[in-house]
Chains A and B, each alone.
Chain A
Amino acid sequence: DQQVKQNSPSLSVQEGRISILNCDYTNSMFDYFLWYKKYPAEGPTFLISISSIKDKNEDGRFTVFLNKSAKHLSLHIVPSQPGDSAVYFCAASERNTGNQFYFGTGTSLTVIP
């Protein structure tokens, strides 16, 4: 049972434009969400997180939005750069149950120069 879903396996965006990556979850108990970025042949690297007490968290070009009622979060990258081309995973967890994270299937972002 996939508790975290990324329905778009791939996304192509022109350099300088906004990239929007989406993620949906089913477990209403999730209260901590993260985005990871993964290059080929490397492990995922942490990008940005958001706690359920917030609906937005911003770090430079990256902003994560959380809509708890819709059980939806999104990652916005503005402006997109060719170096942003990678696979992006969202992950969710319920803090009280420990450190277990549930991952989406990933979205492959290609930023076209």
Chain B
Amino acid sequence: GAVVSQHPSRVICKSGTSVKIECRSLDFQATTMFWYRQFPKQSLMLMATSNEGSKATYEQGVEKDKFLINHASLTLSTLTVTSAHPEDSSFYICSASDRGHQPQHFGDGTRLSIL
């Protein structure tokens, strides 16, 4: 069964709206979670690394104020797309690892569509 739960799976909203996406590890504690973005026919691009209890580490070119990440507990990380615009429409997916450098477990992703 799924070990990482991501919610919602699909969001359609108007331009200017802020959208929050949740990522939960279901049966393990994840001190680190990862947020990716995927454009059509492109690879998963790492946006940021979410660290429990501290600030997220953002990849180059990712706006911190645009994509707010909060890792409030060992089982929950949230990504908020603030004042979303059509160019933010994409597939967002989170992952978590239960220990060290083990393979990451992925959520099912969130399809975000901004009208």
Contacts and interface: CB of A to CB of B under 8 A. Distances in A.
Q: Which of B9, B43, B101 has the most CB of A within 10 A?
A: B43
Contact of A99 (B42, B49, B93, B105): B49
Contacts of B106: 36, 43-45
Contacts of B44: 44, 89, 103
A109 interface: no
Contacts of A36: 106
A54 interface: no
B43 A106 contact: yes
Nearest to B45: A103
Contacts of A101: 46, 104
A4 B43 contact: yes
B88 interface: no
A74 interface: no
A12 interface: no
Given A41-B9, A43-B6, A101-B104, A89 B93 contact: no
Interface residues of B, number: 25
Interface string B12-52: 00000000000000000000101010000111111001000
Contacts of A49: 103
Interface residues of A, number: 25
Contact of B43 (A41, A42, A43, A103): A103
A17 interface: no
A99 B43 contact: no
A2 B43 contact: yes
Given A98-B101, A99-B32, 9 more contacts: A9-B41, A32-B101, A41-B109, A42-B109, A49-B103, A99-B97, A99-B100, A101-B46, A106-B43
16 contacts: A2-B43, A9-B41, A32-B101, A34-B103, A41-B108, A42-B109, A43-B6, A43-B95, A43-B106, A45-B106, A89-B43, A93-B101, A99-B104, A102-B43, A103-B36, A106-B43
Give the 3 A-B residue pairs with the shortest CB-CB distance, closest first: A43-B106, A46-B103, A103-B44
Interface of A: 2, 4, 9, 32, 34, 36, 41-46, 49, 89, 93, 95, 98-106
